[in-house]
Amino acid sequence: MYEFKFNEFVDIVKRLRKECPWDRAQTNDSIKAATIEEAHEVVEAIDNKDFEELKIELGDLLLHVVFHSVIAEQDGKFNLSEVIASIQEKLIRRHPHVFGETKIDNPDDVKKNWEHIKLSEGRKSVLEGVPKSLPALYRAFRLQEKASKVGFDWNDKAPVWQKVVEEMNELHTAEKKESPEKVMEEMGDLLFALVNYARFIKINPEEALSKANSKFQRRFNYIEQKYSEMNKSITESSLEELDKYWEEGKKLEK
């Protein structure tokens, strides 16, 4: 059943590529931004626990996987069968505890073994495979996580927090006597240290900041709503008045 539906789906994409002027004009490069957008929409559906929407968004993301593969096939690079064969082979190779004789009992050891296998495949660095295009906060998290898999890590969270405090002090010092470039560097070091602490207390910093962004937007929208109800312009208000409605919005959330 799945195989028939999937083959039918691929045929639809190939027909669109042949008969639709817009689809025919696309390249892997021209649709890459849309691919990223679709991935983010999948994540948003998961965050919202909207499984009907998740079903739709996964379909959109699958379209991009097939579309990219069809374009590549027409350019003589690779085809969809090779894409599938490649990931099948990789999954088997990197799960020797499932498809081989290796004995692994917990998720952390699975991750460590995964990194060792990737190095044995010819990668020059443990940090390979962390795209530069990732959001900087999440990229820092993944770089730290990968380094930790080979033992480059703190033993507990206490010195990690001390590093946060140290970087905070260095930022304050740089603000007083250093160049803007140095201040930016110290801010980066502080953010990197905070990401590391988040990892130690098992919090995804990207998700934490996303929730903080949503909270800020929700509370600021409450302020805008109040001014709309009063037929007043928010641009003409004082900071004290804005803060009053901010606190009012906070209380309503509790």
3-19: per-residue pLDDT in tens? 679 999 999 999 999 99
pLDDT band at 254 (very low <50, low <70, confident <90, very high): confident
Q: Where is average pLDDT lowest: 23-32, 65-74, 76-85, 232-241?
A: 232-241
Cα–Cα–Cα angle for 88, 45, 195, rounded to 5 degrees: 80
Does pLDDT of 120 surpass 80? no
Highest mean pLDDT among 57-61, 99-103, 108-112, 202-206: 57-61
The conformation of residue 84, written as its DSSP 8-state character, comes to H
Mean pLDDT, residues 81-90: 95
Please, which residues have CB within 8 angstroms of residue 66's CB and are 6 or more apart in sequence?
9, 10, 13, 80
pLDDT in tens, 33-47: 999 999 999 999 998
Pull the structure tokens for residue 187: 């801010």
Nearest Cα neighbor of 28 from 56, 66, 62 is: 66
Pull the structure tokens for residue 86: 């490649």
247 to 219, 224, 227, 243: CA distances (angstroms): 9, 13, 15, 6
Q: Kindly provide the b/e burial profile for residues 127-160, where b requires at least 16 CB atoms within 10 angstroms of the residue's own CB.
A: eeebeeeeeebbbbbbbbbbebbeeeebeeeeeb
Please, which residues have CB within 8 angstroms of residue 56's CB and are 6 or more apart in sequence?
45
Please, which residues have CB within 8 angstroms of residue 21's CB and are 6 or more apart in sequence?
none
pLDDT in tens, 122-176: 777 888 888 888 889 999 999 999 899 888 999 999 999 999 999 999 999 999 9
10 to 2, 37, 38, 39, 42: CA distances (angstroms): 12, 21, 18, 20, 21
| pLDDT > 70: percent of the chain | 99
The owner of tokens 């009907």 is 52
